Amino acid sequence: MSEYTANVKLNTTKKGLIVRLIKDGTVIDHIPPGKGIKIAELLNLFNQDSVVIIGQNLESTKYGKKDIIKVENRFLKSEEYNKISLIAPYATINIIKNYEIVEKKKVVIPDVLEDVALCNNANCISNKEPVPSKLYVISKEPLIVMCHYCGYEFSGENIRLKT
């Protein structure tokens, strides 16, 4: 083993990331601590056969602590990026092919949430009729959304995502 490889191994161990490398799949990094399980549920990761690793309260140089998810043989759809952005606005999505990161993307909160989350107004037509929900993001930090149909405004803390 060369000196270089030895150093790399040591660094990854320090960060606690060497639990298991995945061959092909997705690593969702920089999830706020405690939100990893929520994202795993949202992505329905518990109902698949592949390896899923959820790390909680790992050290993060940027944000103090973070959660991380590694999932094998699973790649995300664009609406899944949108959903993740609402729970983990600073998440980074790493796409792994043959043990290497081939793509690194940051999630971005979209300006309009089309059929991603429900309106919090129980009387809203989008909760009564089979119409796709539509919410405008009027503030990203803190997250505040407004319903296209009824104009109801509410905080992203209370947002209920469609599953």
Chain residues that interact with Zn ion, rule: CB under 5 A: 119, 121, 124, 147, 149-150, 152
- Token pair in block for residue 72: 């094998």
**Which C-beta is closer to Zn ion: that of 34 or that of 151?**
151
Q: How far is the CB of 162 from Zn ion (least distance, A)?
A: 14
Whether 133 contacts 145, CB under 8 Å: no
Phi, psi for residue 57 in degrees, rounded to 5: 55, 40
- Tokens 């060497």 appear where? 18
Q: How far is the CB of 126 from Zn ion (least distance, A)?
A: 5
**Which C-beta is closer to Zn ion: that of 21 or that of 150?**
150
AA letter at 87? I
CA-to-CA distance for 44 and 67, rounded, in angstroms? 17
**Which C-beta is closer to Zn ion: that of 52 or that of 146?**
146
Q: How far is the CB of 137 from Zn ion (least distance, A)?
A: 14
